[in-house]
Amino acid sequence: MIPLASYQAEHFRLAVDGAVATIILDRPERKNPLTFESYAELGALFRAAAREEQVKVFVLQGAGGNFCSGGDVHEIIGPLLERDTKGLMQFTAMTGELVKAMRACPQPIIAAVDGVAAGAGAILAMSADLRLATPRAKVAFLFNRVGLAGCDMGACAILPRIIGQGRASELLYLGRSMGAEEGQAWGFFNAVHAPEELEGRAAALAREIAGGPSFGHAMTKRMLQMEWAMSVEQAIEAEAVAQALCMTTGDFRRAYEAFAAKQRPVFKGD
């Protein structure tokens, strides 16, 4: 894939400002639902991000006062009823690939959630590294409302690690909405901001993170992912290797030199 600054997205909007790339789901008349094509393009973009040098942080948001209403009822749900088991497995593998791509993407991802984040939209927010919200945010893992299981796109693995097993079970069994205040109290949202402030707050947070050591951030994200399946002893050993690698970077040396000179370090990601 070409550098993201030059990439022309087909199924969403992409804006690159320095080290921050903002992905905007832009079908506001239907609350920004996903289609077969947008699932695939988002997954490909996050996979390609591993080879991206300029962009250090992603912001994911929706247009028109909503985040994402999930899979498009007419363009996805309807056609799925006509597929055989093999076709359905191809679809669920593709949706899962998007989550795997987001988690494997070395850059931190910030989800800026305003309004509805339902179904696959809730999964997108869940799969981000940090989540900001407005008071009108409503997150619903409503798969059971359409006769399906709550175990969709990694929800049963990731959501309990964010908010706890009991709370995740409640949301997945009931399919009810989790509001912004509840989501912040449960640890799903990192902060809640007024609707008119959300975009600016997300951009400011992204710039702050982008100003840090990008190799170190990528290693932190990788360890946060890998250590789910490790014992404490294994995690300590893995982190020893990870930190030693970070100590070989130019950013580590520049940080020391800046400290010695009583200056603020400027990280370059090498």
Q: Give pLDDT tens digits along the chain (270 positions).
A: 568 888 999 999 999 999 999 999 999 999 999 999 999 999 999 999 999 999 999 999 999 999 999 988 888 888 888 899 999 999 999 999 999 999 999 999 999 999 999 999 999 999 999 999 999 999 999 999 888 999 999 999 999 999 999 999 999 999 999 999 999 999 999 999 999 999 999 999 999 999 999 999 999 999 999 999 999 999 999 999 999 999 999 999 999 999 999 999 999 888
CATH number of residue 118's parent domain: 3.90.226.10
Residue 33 in domain: yes
Residue 270 belongs to a domain: no
Q: Are residues 53 and 142 both part of a single domain?
A: yes
Domain co-membership, 251 together with 194: no
Structurally, the chain folds into a number of domains equal to 2
Considering the domain architecture, whether residues 177 and 55 belong to the same structural domain is answered as: yes
Task: Show the tokens assigned to 73.
Answer: 């009822």
* 219 and 164 assigned to the same domain: no
Asked, for residue 72, whether it belongs to a domain, the answer is yes
Map 24-90 to HEC letters: EECCHHHCCCECHHHHHHHHHHHHHHHHCCCCCEEEEEECCCCCECCECHHHHHHHHCCCCHHHHHH
Do residues 107 and 176 share a domain?
Answer: yes
Residue 179 lies in a domain: yes
Distance, in Å, from the CA atom of 120 to the CA atom of 153, rounded to the nearest integer, reads 8
Q: Are residues 146 and 247 in the same domain?
A: no
Structural domain including 228 reads 214-260
**Domain match, 190 and 242 both:** no
